[in-house]
Each structure stands twice: as structure tokens, then as C-alpha cells.
Amino acid sequence: MKPIIGITPSQELSAARLQLNRDYQDAVLRAGAVPMILPLTGDQQVLDDALAHMDGVLFTGGADLQPSLYGEEATALCGETDALRDEEEKYLMLKCLREDVPFLAVCRGFEMMLACLGGTLYQDIAAQRPGSVLHPCYDRPADKVHGVSLKEGTLLKEIVGEAEIGVNSRHHQGAREVPEDVVISAVAEDGLPEGIELTTHPFAVGVQWHPETLSARHEEAQRLFDALVRQAETRHMTRNPGEG
């Protein structure tokens, strides 16, 4: 039986509609796992029951985090937020951290990971970090618009296999303060952290760019999903020793 990867959805608040960029699903399928869209709910028992069937989790991109998650008040610089999604993803991520559930956190997921670990965010990079490269390139979602350097000795560098890669960029917020126990694994051309991970967890990796959109055409992007699924397979076999 293939491992199951739970994927967090976003929602269109005005239409009460769940949605998911298909690229996430396709990247997980190419990696050899079964993608399952998680429910969007504040019911922790439902989330516990859902996660019990998952071997890994993919935290996806979307709306800004509520600044209260990282100890700040919202300013005019902050975009649209989603309180229910914040509630769910914080609960799920903390549970993944406690229970060693493998997860890959993309863009908003990267920001949620940072907040859960005690870090802070720029509510708007351009306004609060002058001189940064242009990060919100929403009109070029699948183009490599700037480079990132991957740090030697990190899991991310081992997975990607290259010291420098080009990435797409669809975020206006970014890492401001990164706690000492969190490893910065990738840095943009302007020095902004764009990859984080933990050495105390089997697979807790966050990236600020969108590898799912690049994964069909660029092998180094697909490798992130392949690595998540490999770790999920290990977890699956540990939990189901009679299989195979």
C-alpha cells in the first residue's frame, strides 16, 4: 500500500469554497504516494482522526497568517487572513512536530512553521526590508525569478543536490527572526531566509518558494516531494510492519 500524504486546502472566503492548486496533487502522485485533501475545520478530534490515516503532510500556500500568531498586531501591510485555516494548520503542525510526522511546508506553510517555532515575519517585505529583491512576482508564477543558495550540511541541500537554484516567488511576507534552534537551509540573493528545517525531527522542511509549480519541469523541485514521500514510506512501514 502506498503512503498517504495529507494536503491542506485553502478556501475562497467569499464563496465558502475549498480549493487546491492541482500542482500539489500531481507532485505527490509523481513521487509515488496517494494525495488526500484534509478537511478544513477547527474540530481537533476530526483532525486527529484524519492525521491518524496520514503518513506525511504537505502544508500549502495561501493567505497571510494572522500576525497574532507571531506576537504582533496586524497593520495595513498585512493582506487577507483566514482565521480557521490558521487554527487548523497551527494545530496540525504542532502535532506533526510532537509526533515526528514528516511534513513539507510551502510558502504560507513555511511562514506557519516559522511562527510555530517562535519566529517572526515581515508583514510586507518591500515596506519593512528596503533593498530586497522583488519577491511577490504573482504575474510569473512558474518562472524562476531569483536565486537561492542552499547551505552545506543541511537536509535541503542533500535533497536538492545543488548549491544554487533558481526559484519562483509568490510571497510578499517573509522570515524576519529565525530562532537559534531552527536551521536556515536556503537564503535568497538579498539574504532573506527562504528555507528552514529542524535537525531534531525526521523530516520538517519549509521552503518559501513554490516547488509544486516547478516540479513537472524541473527535477530539483520534484526532489522535495520525492524526499517527503520516502520519509512517509518509512513511517508507513513502521506503523504497518505486516505490509510488504
Whether 244 maps to a domain, the answer reads no
Q: What is the DSSP letter of 65?
A: P
- Structurally, the chain folds into a number of domains equal to 1
What CATH number does the domain containing 98 carry?
3.40.50.880
Burial of 184 (0-12, 13-18, 19+ CB in 10 A): middle
Residue 31's nearest CA partner among 223, 205, 209 is 223
The secondary structure of the chain in percent helix, strand, coil, rounded to multiples of 5, reads 35, 25, 45
End-to-end Cα separation, the chain, in angstroms: 8
Domain extent for 187: 4-239
Q: What is the pLDDT along the chain (244 residues), one digit of tens a residue?
A: 999 999 999 998 877 899 999 999 999 999 999 999 999 999 999 999 999 999 999 999 999 999 999 999 999 999 999 999 999 999 999 999 999 999 999 999 999 999 999 999 999 999 999 999 999 999 999 999 999 999 999 999 999 999 999 999 999 999 999 999 999 999 999 999 999 999 999 999 999 999 999 999 999 999 999 999 999 999 999 888 877 5
Q: How far apart are CA 30 and CA 51, in angstroms?
A: 22
Whether 13 maps to a domain, the answer reads yes
Whether 34 maps to a domain, the answer reads yes
And the C-alpha cell for 165?
537554484
